[in-house]
Amino acid sequence: MDLLELNEAFAAQSLGCLKELGMDMGTELYRRVNVNGGAIAHGHALSNSGTRILTTLIYELKRRKANYGLATLCIGGGQGMAVIVENCG
């Protein structure tokens, strides 16, 4: 994965997810997560988080001429969703 957009409604949630995935601060993969800031920086737009995350990822893939990106979304009730996108441009 070239870039990852990890939805985080709460900072502690993001840190826990990154740790669980083995992405300690300073690792190369860690530097690919939320490269322009996440929901805490951009706002946790109710009912719009998925759109914001996916759009941010697509534009950043194009800007960096990167190939693959992963967007994740946390959903109330312990659910989650993820999508992998490919930059074909």
Tens of pLDDT, residue by residue, the chain (89 residues) = 999 998 876 767 777 878 887 887 788 888 898 898 877 777 666 777 888 889 999 999 999 999 999 998 877 788 888 999 999 98
The tally of CA atoms less than 13 A away on the side-chain side of residue 83 is: 10
> What total number of domains does the chain contain?
1
Which of 59, 41, 61 is closest to 1 using CA atoms? 61
**What CATH number is attached to the domain comprising 63?**
3.40.47.10
Q: Domain residues for 82? A: 3-86
pTM across the whole model: 0.82
Which amino acid is residue 34, in one-letter code? N
Q: Where would I find the H helices in 1-89?
A: 11-20, 39-42, 49-64
Amino acid at 9: A
Helix, strand or coil, per DSSP, at residue 49:
helix
